[in-house]
Amino acid sequence: MATTAHRRYAEIMHDVEELINDHINQQKRGTQASSKLKLLVPSVGVFFTPLKLEEAFNFQDDRRRISSRRFVPPSFNDIRLTLNSAQMMSLARSGPIQLMTFDGDVTLYNDGESLTDENPVIPRILRLLRQGICVGIVTAAGYTVAKRYYERLHGLLDAVANAVTDKDIENPKVIILGGESNYLFEFDYNSESFLNFVPRDVWLLDEMRKWQEEDIQSLLDVAEGALNECISSMQLPAEMIRKDRAVGIIPSPGPGTHKFTREQLEETVLVTQQILELSDPGKKVPFCAFNGQSARSTCCPYRRLLHTNGVFGLGGNDVFVDIGDKSWGVLSCQRYLGGIDGSKTLHVGDQFLSAGANDFKARLACTTAWIASPAETVALLDEFHFHCESQGKQ
């Protein structure tokens, strides 16, 4: 039975792989709108690399024994991890990869925590740096001073600095892009916090320079009004936080602090997003509306399925609107580091649930991997190293 199931699953993966190859060939000719895959899945986007789905399924089936299950069919997580493996195989074989970017919370460390010295992802990131791969952290956390990022990432920054001191790594390329796409810092061995602030006029993309400050503040005004509307209609015990490039709500502090329910968070995001999309500044300036849970923003037909399969995390208990999104963030990293192509870039994150999730937009800029915990990030980096090593032995 397991042999028959494996063969049938592998055949399905092979057929999908062929559909993707056809779509990529159509992309090269500029006729992707008429590809078979586009006709079957109208929302399908750009593929930066081929995906060896059949081989990736074989790899995951050896580890997860998908074909050996009698009553439980392939789950969403099985497919997610198979896609991740296919992407790792492709990047390892088409190498060398030049840039790897990461989300922060739930990707590198547990939500609301910091990247401390003992975090097992640190030696994996150091390994990337030794290989000459640039590393970026593209996060929603929007701080204007290096000290705040050092507080969240001190384990990694200290480790990189120690590696430079020991001459284990020379000229490491580590950058942090905060507030989705608003504040850029780069590693600086001689700085107190090992980070140096990079002025916007140095790294902003040409399209981002067209965003007028008046429109940005108008959009945040509209967002604040929408959030206040939700606070009033749902009687949320919330505190408003306004920054120069973001606005959001958190539970009001104090004894017996109330936590927003998942339904309240999602309703607030959906209401705010719709109001912004219909507003005049929302048509001029890109934005990202999201909540701190793993379920972010717009509705997804697989929402119940994802929740059942454990993709949802508890996450933070807030709702924020940021100027820009992670597609702009990753594109800015690529440009600042010398014009790195999307096919040579990988973004790793946990927020790919729907079009409103902040990591989802990174798919417009590069290849991606969808993880569900910091432990999965560690496993992903080990798998990438395994495929690179295997490729080198061939």
Residues tagged active-site: 103, 105
Distance between CA atoms of residues 367 and 99, nearest Å? 11
Distance between CA atoms of residues 153 and 186, nearest Å? 13
End-to-end C-alpha distance for the chain, whole angstroms? 33
Question: 199 CB contacts (<8 Å, ≥6 apart)?
Answer: none
3-state secondary structure of 294: coil
The three-point CA angle 202-203-209 to 5° equals: 95
Residue (of 370, 371, 377, 362) closest to 140 by Cα position:
362
* Per-residue tokens: 154: 């001190």
Distance between CA atoms of residues 207 and 69, nearest Å? 50
User: Hunting for tokens 């729907």 — which residue is that?
Assistant: 354
Q: Are the C-beta atoms of residues 293 and 272 closer than 8 Å to each other?
A: no
Task: Tell me the sheet residues that pair with 184.
Answer: 177, 198
